[in-house]
């Protein structure tokens, strides 16, 4: 992972990021023996507090799309089934705890199922669903304070304000570096960018930042710009592999805008600091970040945000992924597709069992992208 001087060079840094993205947190104890990891599921779980408590945030991703733990019915998403199966197989024995955020109904239920049949300690935070509702901010702040106390109890040490501030700054720096990469999407291969972003949710944060800083200048120099590639916006829930992005690229597309839970949406939005109470800054960030379909800031804010993003990035097409049994994204898919089409952006809605794409998806993606490539308007 490092050269003789203990410094990582650009090539090694990129290699490290890609390796971490593909390992998805496995071998973490071997690779980072001194670190304590805390698992979480959703971007609304404030990673600043995990870091301030002295832990490394680890996004939990399934190692299989075909797991069928007896505790969940078949009509449940493969993210929930796969991760619960890993818990039952004791894949998370080393984690300090696992954080659940109330976002979708499945996550809400998974928390209860997990605490009933798993071994790892579960920690809940229930953010408001209506982020702009009267009283939502105060409520969210109190929930965040409770979370901080629960995390403190895991180490028997109070989390210091200075630690929170440091964590906020570290997260802000991470987000700023990731935003630089997000802005390079048109010149970088889509699966590469997606992998780099996913790595940031799976490896120790300081190491991630170092690796990003190291490889960013070379990434800026990298030019794979292909004028004939179709610019695409992708919207989806969690995607634990690059399979979709690789196929889009292979078929002549380039993902220029990424609204996926494990992609840029995880990092998007402003990070603020400087308030008397740093928890206020954390709540402000999570209340104001571009919402996922489980949250509501106003009726059409998410749709407006995505149509604007697509226009801003000159997207010629949009691919909306519905992960099987993922209800919030399935609900938004219809209105989002209509709005994108009204803006002149051709849209394909694709249902996937997990994160991987196969022959059936290839046929649909190929037809969609070929249609765009051959369109006289584009």
Judged by the rule CB under 8 A, the positions of this chain that interact with other proteins are: 70-76, 80, 102, 104-106, 108-113, 116-117, 124, 126, 128-130, 133-136, 138-139, 142-143, 146, 293-294, 296, 299-300, 322, 324-325, 327-328, 330-335, 337, 349, 351
**301, 287 Cβ separation under 8 angstroms:** no
Nearest residue (CB) to other proteins, 202 versus 319: 319
Closest to other proteins by CB, 108 or 153 = 108
All residues at 6 or more sequence positions from 183 whose CB lies less than 8 Å from its CB, including other chains = none
Residue closer to other proteins by CB (options 117, 187) is 117
Among residues 163, 210, 161, the alpha carbon closest in space to that of 2 is found at: 210
- C-beta closer to other proteins: residue 85 or 242: 85
Q: What share of the chain is helix, strand, coil (3-state, %, to 5)?
A: 50, 10, 40
CA atoms within 13 A on the CB side of 78: 19
CA distance 16 to 209: 12
Residue 98 and residue 120 in contact, taking contact as beta carbons nearer than 8 Å: yes
As measured in angstroms, the least distance from the Cβ of 98 to other proteins is 13
Residue 135 CB, shortest distance to other proteins, in Å, is 3
CB of 359 to other proteins, least distance (A): 21
The closest of 42, 59, 44, 39 to 282, measured between CA atoms, is 44
Query: Nearest distance from residue 30's CB to other proteins, in Å?
Result: 33
Which residue, 91 or 349, is less far from other proteins as judged by CB?
Answer: 349
Smallest distance, Å, CB 186 to other proteins? Answer: 30
Task: Quote the CA–CA distance of 200 and 171 in Å, as a whole number.
Answer: 10
* β partners of residue 39: 58, 98
Shortest distance (Å) from residue 130 CB to other proteins: 4
Residue 292 CB, nearest approach to other proteins (Å):
12
Three-state SS for 61? coil
CA–CA dist 352, 368 (Å, integer):
16
For residues 152 and 186, which CB has a smaller minimum distance to other proteins in the complex?
152
In the bound complex, what is the minimum distance in angstroms from residue 200's beta carbon to other proteins? 27
Closer to other proteins by CB, 69 or 317: give it.
Answer: 69
CB of 307 to other proteins, least distance (A): 14
Closer residue to other proteins (CB): 198 or 346: 346
Measure the CA–CA gap between 62 and 253, rounded to whole angstroms.
27
Q: Which residue, 298 or 308, has its beta carbon nearer to other proteins?
A: 298
| Whole-angstrom distance, CA of residue 246 vs CA of residue 21 | 14
Contacts of 273 (CB under 8 A, 6+ apart): 165, 168, 169, 172, 281
Helix boundaries (H) for the chain: 10-23, 28-31, 47-52, 78-88, 105-117, 136-155, 161-182, 190-199, 205-221, 243-250, 278-288, 301-312, 327-342, 359-373
Q: What contacts 224, CB < 8 A, 6 or more positions away?
A: 187, 188, 189
State the minimum distance, in angstroms, from the CB of residue 211 to other proteins.
Answer: 36
Which of 126/222 has CB closer to other proteins? 126
């Amino acid at each position: 992972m490092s050269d003789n001087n203990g410094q990582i060079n650009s090539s090694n840094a990129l290699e490290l990021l890609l390796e971490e993205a593909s390992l998805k947190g496995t071998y973490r104890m071997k690779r980072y023996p001194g670190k304590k990891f805390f698992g979480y599921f959703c971007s609304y779980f404030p990673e600043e507090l995990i870091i301030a408590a002295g832990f490394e945030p680890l996004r939990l991703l399934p190692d299989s799309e075909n797991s069928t733990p007896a505790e969940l019915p078949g009509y449940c998403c493969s993210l929930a089934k796969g991760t619960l199966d890993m818990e039952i197989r004791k894949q998370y024995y080393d984690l300090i705890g696992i954080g659940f955020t109330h976002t979708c109904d499945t996550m809400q239920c998974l928390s209860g199922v997990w605490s009933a049949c798993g071994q790892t300690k579960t920690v809940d935070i229930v953010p408001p669903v209506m982020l702009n509702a009267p009283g939502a901010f105060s409520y969210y702040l109190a929930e965040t304070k409770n979370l901080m106390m629960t995390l403190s109890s895991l180490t028997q040490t109070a989390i210091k304000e200075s630690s929170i501030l440091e964590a906020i700054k570290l997260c802000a720096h991470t987000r700023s570096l990731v935003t630089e990469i997000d802005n390079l999407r048109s010149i970088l291969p889509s699966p590469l960018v997606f992998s780099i972003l996913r790595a940031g949710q799976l490896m120790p944060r300081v190491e991630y930042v170092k690796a990003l800083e190291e490889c960013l200048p070379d990434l800026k120099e990298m030019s794979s710009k292909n004028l004939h590639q179709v610019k695409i916006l992708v919207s989806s829930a969690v995607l634990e592999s690059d399979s979709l992005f690789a196929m889009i690229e292979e078929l002549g597309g380039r993902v220029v805008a990424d609204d996926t839970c494990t992609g840029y949406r995880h990092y998007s939005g402003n990070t603020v600091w400087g308030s008397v109470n740093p928890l206020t800054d954390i709540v402000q960030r999570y209340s104001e970040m571009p919402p996922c379909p489980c949250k509501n800031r106003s009726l059409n804010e998410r749709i407006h945000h995505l149509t604007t993003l697509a226009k801003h990035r000159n997207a010629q097409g949009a691919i909306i992924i519905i992960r099987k049994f993922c209800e919030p994204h399935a609900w938004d898919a219809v209105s989002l597709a209509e709005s994108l089409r009204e803006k002149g952006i051709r849209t394909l809605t694709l249902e996937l069992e997990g994160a991987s794409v196969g022959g059936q998806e290839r046929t649909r993606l190929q037809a969609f992208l070929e249609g765009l490539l051959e369109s006289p308007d584009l």
